[in-house]
């Protein structure tokens, strides 16, 4: 019987696992679960007889593909697939997919929640400021960026966006003002929310030079990836500019340094939690299961991300 393995170091909500199971069993396949694993060895053992694999931010590298002798497809239940070695997937004749958009609202809601948290001084009881009328810059206008724009407009924010790959017309239709460069976005906006993927081009790209362009009282918000930040550069800037704040749901490598050098102006959630809602888990998990069934039964490769 075809085995579908759900391997999630950070598990889906139970209701999402139930939904995935329903899809998988309706197709006549068997579901195996590896949750909260602590060692790679456990993943290597669990994938040995799996034909399909559903993951979240779990790392799937060449060693995992080597161990997964029967694997045909791996689906990242979520947007970013920087945790999958795509070349290794192709070399092992495995199709890799993501489930774009399925958890975008969850991440966007958290982004706005973190903005409120920042301007209300981390809910410490002191007088803060409001978001109404403030300029928000959305760095990358994909599924999450678009949801952030929608919600931010509800707060009455003045929304701008920069995305080299998204036509200005799409932004305008969403009531968002396009700008021509990242530099312009950071110069204009007191709030900047990052929604760029971690790629060779973006890694370490958000640092001293760009963020120093932000106006007084600037808040940089990162619910994207820790890798896009030049941590040393950002720490240096936060030390020089006591008006700036850095808020993230992806703990940086230099967490202790950020906490010490930007005390009261830095916050990181204990675990990456943008997509950690029942709804996002259901949407992304079930989409992943459906894409697996559709690929194995009908050869549908719509959301394939490797060549």
**Residues 54, 289: contact at Cβ < 8 Å?**
yes
**Residues 185, 215: contact at Cβ < 8 Å?**
no
Q: Is 275 among the residues that bind ligand 3PG (CB under 6 A)?
A: yes
Among 185, 272, 291, 295, binds ligand 3PG (CB under 6 A): 272
Within 5-34, which residues bind ligand 3PG (CB under 6 A)? Answer: 10
Q: In terms of CB distance, is 57 or 248 closer to ligand 3PG?
A: 57
CB of 104 to ligand 3PG, least distance (A): 8
CB of 69 to ligand 3PG, least distance (A): 26
Stretch that binds ligand 3PG, among 22-30, 46-54, 78-86, 235-243 (CB under 6 A): 78-86
Q: Is 248 among the residues that bind ligand 3PG (CB under 6 A)?
A: no
Within 150-209, which residues bind ligand 3PG (CB under 6 A)? Answer: none
Stretch that binds ligand 3PG, among 146-154, 172-180, 236-244, 268-276 (CB under 6 A): 268-276
CB of 165 to ligand 3PG, least distance (A): 17
What is the rounded (10 degree) CA torsion for 220, 222, 226, 230? Answer: -20
CB of 106 to ligand 3PG, least distance (A): 8
Among 142, 145, 218, 274, binds ligand 3PG (CB under 6 A): 274
Residues 6+ away with beta carbon under 8 Å from 263: none
Among 79, 84, 161, 206, binds ligand 3PG (CB under 6 A): 79
Q: In terms of CB distance, is 190 or 222 closer to ligand 3PG?
A: 222
Among 3, 56, 188, 226, binds ligand 3PG (CB under 6 A): 56
CB of 97 to ligand 3PG, least distance (A): 13
Q: In terms of CB distance, is 190 or 306 closer to ligand 3PG?
A: 306
**Residues 63, 91: contact at Cβ < 8 Å?**
no
Among 34, 57, 141, 214, binds ligand 3PG (CB under 6 A): 57
Q: In terms of CB distance, is 131 or 221 closer to ligand 3PG?
A: 221
DSSP labels, the chain: --EEEEEESSPPPHHHHHHHHHHHHHTT-EEEEEES--SHHHHHHHTTT-SEEEESS--B-HHHHHH-TT--EEEESSS--TTB-HHHHHHTT-EEEE-TTTTHHHHHHHHHHHHHHHHTGGGSSS-----TT-EEEEES-SHHHHHHHHHHHHTT-EEEEE-TTS-HHHHHHTT-EE-S-HHHHHHH-SEEEE-----TTTTT-BSHHHHTTSPTT-EEEE-S-GGGB-HHHHHHHHHH-TT-EEEESS--TTHHHHHHHTTTTEEE-SS--TT-SHHHHHHHHHHHHHHHHHHHHH---TTB---
What string marks each residue from 97 to 136 as x (binds ligand 3PG by CB under 6 A) or -? ------x---------------------------------
Stretch that binds ligand 3PG, among 21-29, 76-84, 206-214, 238-246 (CB under 6 A): 76-84
Which residue has the closest beta carbon to ligand 3PG? 78
**Burial of residue 122, with CB atoms counted within 10 A of its CB: 0-12 exposed, 13-18 middle, 19 or more buried:** middle
Binding interface with ligand 3PG (CB under 6 A): 10, 56-57, 78-80, 103, 272, 274-276
């Amino acid at each position: 019987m075809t085995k579908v393995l759900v391997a999630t170091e950070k598990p889906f909500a139970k209701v999402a696992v139930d939904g995935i199971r329903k899809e998988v069993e309706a197709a006549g396949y068997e579901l195996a679960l590896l949750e909260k694993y602590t060692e790679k060895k456990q993943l290597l053992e669990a994938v040995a007889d799996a034909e399909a694999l559903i993951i979240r931010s779990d790392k799937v590298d060449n060693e995992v593909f080597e161990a997964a002798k029967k694997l045909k497809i791996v689906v990242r239940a979520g947007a970013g697939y920087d945790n999958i070695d795509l070349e290794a997937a192709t070399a092992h004749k495995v199709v890799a997919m993501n489930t774009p958009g399925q958890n975008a609202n969850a991440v966007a809601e958290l982004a706005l929640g973190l903005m409120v948290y920042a301007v209300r001084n981390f809910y410490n009881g002191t007088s803060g400021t409001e978001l109404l009328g403030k300029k928000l810059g959305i760095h990358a206008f994909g599924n999450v960026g678009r949801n952030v724009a929608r919600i931010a407009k509800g707060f009455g924010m003045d929304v701008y966006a920069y995305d080299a790959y998204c036509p200005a017309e799409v932004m305008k239709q969403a009531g968002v003002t396009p700008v021509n460069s990242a530099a312009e976005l950071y110069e204009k906006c007191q709030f900047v929310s990052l929604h760029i993927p971690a790629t060779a081009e973006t890694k370490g790209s958000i640092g001293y030079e760009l963020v120093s362009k932000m106006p007084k009282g600037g808040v940089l918000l990162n619910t994207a990836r820790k890798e896009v930040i030049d941590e040393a550069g950002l720490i240096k800037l936060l030390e020089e500019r006591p008006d700036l704040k850095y808020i993230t749901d992806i703990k940086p490598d230099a967490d202790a340094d950020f906490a010490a050098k930007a005390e009261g102006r830095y916050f990181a959630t204990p675990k990456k939690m943008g997509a950690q809602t029942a709804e996002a888990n259901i949407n992304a998990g079930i989409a992943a299961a459906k894409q697996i069934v559709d690929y194995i039964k009908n050869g549908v490769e719509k959301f394939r991300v490797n060549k």
